């Protein structure tokens, strides 16, 4: 297939390939057919009752010695041997003899933002009512394991939002780390050179700090120092980024949370919103191409889902000039963020443009996957390499009690980000839930 010679043409063809996902080859997964319970885990090792140990869940695209890394794929489960060694990101947890309770479910090869998994069943969103909600992907199992109390902390991976999106969908906290801070060796890759990261997920900020302390030595001390330096929000400057297409109720929830925390809120202009959208488009191009670079050998593999193969094929279309032009824009975007962070400490915006989307009954899921790429406000952060925190804030006049605030920080600001999250978390506890 020829490579498009213009980025707009590439994006058009990318959308066309995604549209192919809604053909008769891609159908909704059969829920409950393969994994027990809420489908959070590919393999689960129940801990002793009342042990008091920290329970850690690990996304099943991260190698664990003696366990097959399925990457959410039946094909991998059948053809791969158990990992010969742990991924380096598990080193601190192993040294401390942390109780690992299982490997969590994910979208196949971590390429889908919805959280669907045809092979192992789709993790069940804890907010499900009479209609099912997406759990968010790709770290869907990690989010559900934490949200339902099956784990205290979970490790996820984030290439275009795969920690923050499921955290937002399931009402928990998720931290996307600075690119390169946590080693990604032993992690099934998508785009490791520019986008892939490992990070913690937990029900609250305190748990997320514990998770980060398992990923970076001495992190808890860094966090305590950040708390001591900024014990209140009045001296923290937050640039508020407003994006077109966001549900007004979600924007209002974010604004209430920032005000309640006592931050100095500084509106960012339309130019910065436009640059964010451009970075989002470029980040999606790089992420899509990464799927082709990393997984092209599985394009015709038996047992790999048609939906995953379509995502790989979309990346094949985006490679070449579109990919190179997108990467060429990365330094400009990083410079724009540096300029913004010379005036504010963090940038705030919703993690998602609205509440989690419903799973369409008896329909194909490809259209929903394409919609998710526009619905999530996450990939621009990966494109820059910066850290970002997603945390729940109360949502009024909605069937759901919370939405998600995203705070973006300068590189290596994870401790300060979590301190800002601590202030928001404490403040919104006084806020009423949905009315």
> Quick one: tokens of 188?
């099934």
On the question of pLDDT at 28 being above 50, the answer is: no
State the Cα angle at 18 between 15 and 21, rounded to 5°: 155
Grouping H, G, I as helix, E, B as strand and the rest as coil, residue 251 is helix
**Could you give the CA distance from residue 383 to residue 282 in angstroms, rounded to a whole number?**
8
Please state the rounded mean pLDDT for residues 110-133: 93
Place of tokens 């540096």: 338
On the question of pLDDT at 261 being above 90, the answer is: yes
Kindly list the domain boundaries of the chain, sorted by start residue.
7-428
CB 28 within 8 A of CB 365: yes
Please state the rounded mean pLDDT for residues 13-40: 50
Write down the catalytic residue from 26, 114, 162, 294: 162
This prediction's pTM: 0.92
Q: Look at the alpha carbons of 210, 203, 352, 238 in this order and tell me if their dihedral is positive or negative.
A: negative
Residue 379 is predicted with a pLDDT of: 98
Residues, the chain: 435
More confident residue, 59 or 362: 59
Please state the rounded mean pLDDT for residues 235-256: 97
Residue 34 is predicted with a pLDDT of: 55
pLDDT digits (tens, 9 = 90+) for 149-177: 999 999 999 999 999 999 999 999 999 99
Confidence of residue 5 (pLDDT cuts 50, 70, 90): very low
On the question of pLDDT at 20 being above 50, the answer is: no
- CA 316 vs. chain centroid, Å, equals 23
CB 400 within 8 A of CB 419: no
> Quick one: tokens of 151?
């784990």
On the question of pLDDT at 32 being above 70, the answer is: no
Give residues with Cβ within 8 angstroms of 328, minimum separation 6: none
Confidence of residue 431 (pLDDT cuts 50, 70, 90): low
Confidence of residue 8 (pLDDT cuts 50, 70, 90): low
Confidence of residue 21 (pLDDT cuts 50, 70, 90): very low
pLDDT digits (tens, 9 = 90+) for 381-400: 999 999 999 999 999 999 99
Residue 189 is predicted with a pLDDT of: 98
Nearest residue to 161 (alpha-carbon basis) of 388, 431, 357:
388
Architecture of domain 7-428: Alpha-Beta Complex (3.90)
> Quick one: tokens of 326?
């997108």
Please state the rounded mean pLDDT for residues 282-301: 97
Q: What are the distances in angstroms from CA 367 to CA 8, 312, 357? A: 20, 16, 12
Q: Which residues of 17-49 are buried (b: 16+ CB within 10 A; e: fewer)?
A: bbebbbeeebbbbebeebbeebbbbbbbeebee
Residue 37 is predicted with a pLDDT of: 84
CB 379 within 8 A of CB 284: yes
Write down the catalytic residue from 138, 139, 305, 310: 138
On the question of pLDDT at 339 being above 70, the answer is: yes
Write down the catalytic residue from 59, 272, 275, 309: 59
Please indicate whether residue 59 is annotated as part of the active site: yes
Please state the rounded mean pLDDT for residues 6-34: 43
On the question of pLDDT at 362 being above 70, the answer is: no
What φ, ψ does residue 101 adopt, rounded to 5°? -100, -5
């Amino acid at each position: 297939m020829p490579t498009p010679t213009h980025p707009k043409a590439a994006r058009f063809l990318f959308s066309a390939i995604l549209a192919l996902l809604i053909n008769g080859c891609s159908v909704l997964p059969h829920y409950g057919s393969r994994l027990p319970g809420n489908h959070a885990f590919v393999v689960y090792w129940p801990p002793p009752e009342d042990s008091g140990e920290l329970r850690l869940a690990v996304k099943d695209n991260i190698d664990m010695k003696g366990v097959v890394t399925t990457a959410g794929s039946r094909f991998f489960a059948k053809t791969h041997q158990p990992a010969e060694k742990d991924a380096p990101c598990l080193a601190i947890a192993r040294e401390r003899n942390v109780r690992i309770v299982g490997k969590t479910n994910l979208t196949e090869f971590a390429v889908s933002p919805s959280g669907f998994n045809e092979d192992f069943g789709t993790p069940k969103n804890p907010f499900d009512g009479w209609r099912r909600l997406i759990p968010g992907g790709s770290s869907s199992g990690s989010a559900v394991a934490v949200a339902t109390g099956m784990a205290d902390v979970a490790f996820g991976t984030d290439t275009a939002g795969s920690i923050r999106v499921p955290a937002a969908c399931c009402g928990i906290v998720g931290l996307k780390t600075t690119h390169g801070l946590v080693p990604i060796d032993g992690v099934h890759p998508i785009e490791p050179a520019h986008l892939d990261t490992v990070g913690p997920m937990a029900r609250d900020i305190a748990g997320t700090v514990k998770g980060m302390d398992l990923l970076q030595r001495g992190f808890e001390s860094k966090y305590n120092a950040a708390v001591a330096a900024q014990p209140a929000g009045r001296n923290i400057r937050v640039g508020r980024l407003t994006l077109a297409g966001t549900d007004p109720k979600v924007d209002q929830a974010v604004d209430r949370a920032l005000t309640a925390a006592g931050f100095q809120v500084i509106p960012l202009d339309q130019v910065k919103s436009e640059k964010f959208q451009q970075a989002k488009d470029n980040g999606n191009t790089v992420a899509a191409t990464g799927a082709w670079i990393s997984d092209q050998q599985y394009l015709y593999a038996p047992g790999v889902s048609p939906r995953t193969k379509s995502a790989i094929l979309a990346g094949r279309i985006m490679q070449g000039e579109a990919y190179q032009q997108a990467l060429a824009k990365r330094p400009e975007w990083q410079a724009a963020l540096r300029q913004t962070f010379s005036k504010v400490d963090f940038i705030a915006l919703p993690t998602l443009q609205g509440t989690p989307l419903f799973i369409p009954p008896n329909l194909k899921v490809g259209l929903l996957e394409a919609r998710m790429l526009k619905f999530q406000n996450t990939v621009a952060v990966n494109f820059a390499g910066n850290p970002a925190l997603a945390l729940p804030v109360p949502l009024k006049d909605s069937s759901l009690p919370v939405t998600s605030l995203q705070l973006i920080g300068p590189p290596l600001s994870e401790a300060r980000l979590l301190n800002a999250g601590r202030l928001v978390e404490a403040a919104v506890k006084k806020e009423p839930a949905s009315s």
